[in-house]
Amino acid sequence: MPNYVIGLLGLVVLVALILMGMRIGLAMALVGFLGGWYVRSFSSAMGYLTFTPFGTTNSDSLSVIPLFTLMGVLCAYGGISQQLYSACYKFVSQKKGGLAIATEIACAFFAAICGSATATTASMGKICMTEMDKYNYKRTLTCGSISAGGTLGILIPPSVGFMLYGINAGIGVGRMFMAGIIPGIILCLCYSMTVVAVCAADPEAGPKGPRFTAKEKLIAATGIFPVLCLFALVLGGILFGWFGATEGAAMGAFGALILMILKRQFNLKNLHGALKDTINTTAMIFLIMIGANIFGNFLSATGLPQAMSIFCANAQIGRFWILLALLGVYAILGCFVDSLPLLVLLTPIFLPVVDVLGYDRIWFGVLMVMFMQMGLLTPPVGMCCYVMAGIAKDTPLPVIFKGTAPFLAGIVAAIIIVMAFPALSTWLPSVMRYGM
C-alpha cells in the first residue's frame, strides 16, 4: 500500500475520532503518533511526542496569541460591547431592519478588538437580542444577524485564525491582519444588505426603531472613539512599521486594560475572569497546534502533501476548479470541525498545492477563512449558532439555523468579490513597511 494512501486513511481516522467527541488536539497527536509508528518506527513516533511540543511552543511568534486574546477578553469584560451597539443603532435604528444592521456594524467594531467568532457572538448577543426583542423583531432575523455578525471575529483583525495561518504559512502575522481589513468591511456590508433584503421580503421581520436627535447621535458616537483609537494604535502601528505584531499585541492588551480602568470595570473579579479565559483559550490553541504538528510530521512521512501537489500539477483540470475544490473542503469540514483546528490541520497539506497552482498565499488565506465562516453558521456544528442558542434559550436551534440561511448568501457574495479582485486582500500587505 502506498504511503500516501496511509496518509489519507489517517485523515479518515482523525475525522472519525473528532466526530466521536475526542478532543481535537489529542486526536491529532494520537493519530500522528500511531501513524508515524506504522510508517517509520516506534522511535521516530516517540521523537514526535518528545520534541514536537517544545519545538511548537518555543517560538517568539506565538506570543501574539495570548496577548491578542487578552486584549479581546479585557475589552469584553470592560463592557465595550454595550457602548458599541448603543452608538451604532442610534444611527440606523429608524430604518427597517435598522437594529439588525446596527448589530452587524457593532460586531465588526468589536471584532476589531476581539479576534474570536464565538466571543464576538457571546459578547454582542445578549445586548443586541434584548433591543431587537423590545421592537418585536422576528427571532429568525435576530438570531441570524447576531450569529452572522459573530463570524466577523475571525476575519477582521486581530483574528486568531489569521494568527495561526500566518504562523503555519510562514507569512508575517501583521501582513495577514492587513489582508483581512478590506474583505471584513465588504462582508459587513454584504451582511447589512442581506438584512435589507430580508426586511424587503418580510417587513415585519425587522420593524423600524426609534428616532434619535443629532445631539444624541453625536454623544453616542463617542462610544466608538475608544475602540477606534485602540484599533488604530495596534493595526496602524503594525502597518506603518512602528512595531511588529508581538509588540502591537502587547500595546493592545495594555490599551484594553486602560479602557477597562477608565470604564470603571477594573476589579479583582473581572481581572481574574479575563486572565482565566485567556489562559483557557491559549492552552486550547497551543494543544491544537502541538497535535497538528505531530499529525503533520506523520503526513510528511507519508508524502501526501507532495502527492497532492504532483496530482494537481498533472491534472487536466483548470487551476481555478482545483482551488475551488480545496476551499470547498474547508466549507464542508467546517460543518463538522471547529475552524481553528481545521485551519492548523489543512494548511500544511494544501499550501504546497496552492504554490504549484501559482496563487498568492495571502489571498488564499483570506478566502480560506471566509469559507470557514460558512461552517460557523451551518449545521450540525455551527459554533456561532450554538453560542446563540445558549443566549436565546427559548429559541429552538433549527430556528436559529433558519435565520442564518440568508446570511450565507452574504458570505458567498463577499467571497465572489474577493475572488474576482485579489488586490482587495493583497494591496494593504504589499504597502506594509514591516514584514511581521
Window from 103-112, 156-165, 177-186, 216-225 with minimum mean pLDDT: 216-225
CA torsion 316-319-320-325 (nearest 10°) is: 80
> Is it the case that residue 197 has pLDDT exceeding 80?
yes
Q: Tell me the CB-side half-sphere exposure of residue 320, using CA atoms within 13 A.
A: 3
The pLDDT-based confidence of 302 (bands split at 50, 70, 90) is: confident
Q: In Å, how far from its chain's centre is CA 133?
A: 27
Distance in angstroms (rounded) separating the CA atoms of residues 172 and 406 = 34
Which of 82-86, 213-217, 358-362 tops mean pLDDT?
Answer: 358-362
Q: Which of 357, 367, 345, 355 is nearest to 297 (CA)?
A: 345
Q: Of 118-127, 150-159, 403-412, give the range with the top mean pLDDT.
A: 403-412
Higher pLDDT, 62 or 136: 136
Percent of the chain's residues with pLDDT above 90: 15
183 pLDDT exceeds 90? yes
Mean of the per-residue pLDDT values for the chain? 83
pLDDT level of residue 409 (50, 70, 90 thresholds): very high
Cα 40 to Cα 255: distance, rounded to the nearest angstrom: 49
Phi, psi of 390 (to 5 degrees): -70, -25
CA 343 to chain centre: 10
How many whole angstroms separate alpha carbon 64 and alpha carbon 67? 5
For range 338-350, the mean pLDDT: 79
Q: For residues 123 and 108, which has the higher predicted lDDT (pLDDT)?
A: 108
Higher pLDDT, 195 or 222: 195
Give the pLDDT score at 351: 87
Q: Quick one: pLDDT at residue 352? A: 86
Q: Is the pLDDT of residue 418 over 90?
A: yes
pLDDT in tens, 69-112: 888 788 778 777 677 777 777 787 778 888 889 889 888 888 87
| C-alpha–C-alpha distance, residues 397 and 336, integer Å | 16
Q: Which of 30-44, 90-104, 292-306 has the highest mean pLDDT?
A: 30-44
- How many other C-beta atoms lie within 10 A of the C-beta of residue 178? 24
Instruction: Say what the pLDDT of residue 436 is.
Output: 46
pTM of the model: 0.81
In the chain, domain spans: 61-280+308-430
Mean pLDDT (whole number) for 353-380: 88
Band of pLDDT at residue 211, cut at 50, 70 and 90 = confident
DSSP-derived letter for residue 203 is G
C-alpha cell at 277: 479565559
DSSP code string of 362-427: HHHHHHHHHHHHHHTTSSS--HHHHHHHHHSTTS-HHHHHHHHHHHHHHHHHHHHHHHH-THHHHH
408 versus 302: the higher-pLDDT residue is 408
Q: Is the pLDDT of residue 434 over 70?
A: no
Quickly state the pLDDT bin for 187 (edges 50, 70, 90).
very high
pLDDT at position 186: 95
Instruction: Take residue 1 and report the three cell numbers written for it.
Output: 500500500
Query: Cα(260)–Cα(248) distance, rounded to whole angstroms?
Result: 18
Across residues 384-405, what is the average pLDDT? 87
Per-residue pLDDT at 419: 94
What is residue 410's predicted lDDT score, i.e. its pLDDT? 94
Q: What is the pLDDT of residue 404?
A: 92
Non-local (6+) Cβ contacts of 21 within 8 A are none
CA distances from 297 to 157, 164, 166, 349 (A): 30, 17, 19, 11
Q: What is the DSSP string of 140-182?
A: HHHHHHHHHHHGGGGTSSS-HHHHHHHHHHT--HHHHHHHHHH
pLDDT tens digits, residue range 239-274?
Answer: 777 877 788 888 888 988 888 888 888 888 888 888
AA identity, residue 14? L
Q: Is the pLDDT of residue 422 over 90?
A: yes
pLDDT at 314: 73
Alpha carbon distance 349, 300 (integer Å): 9
DSSP 290-306: HHHHHHHHHHHHHTHHH
pLDDT at 370 over 80: yes
Rounded average pLDDT over 11-39: 85
Predicted confidence at residue 435, as pLDDT, reads 44
| Structure letter (DSSP) for residue 204 | G
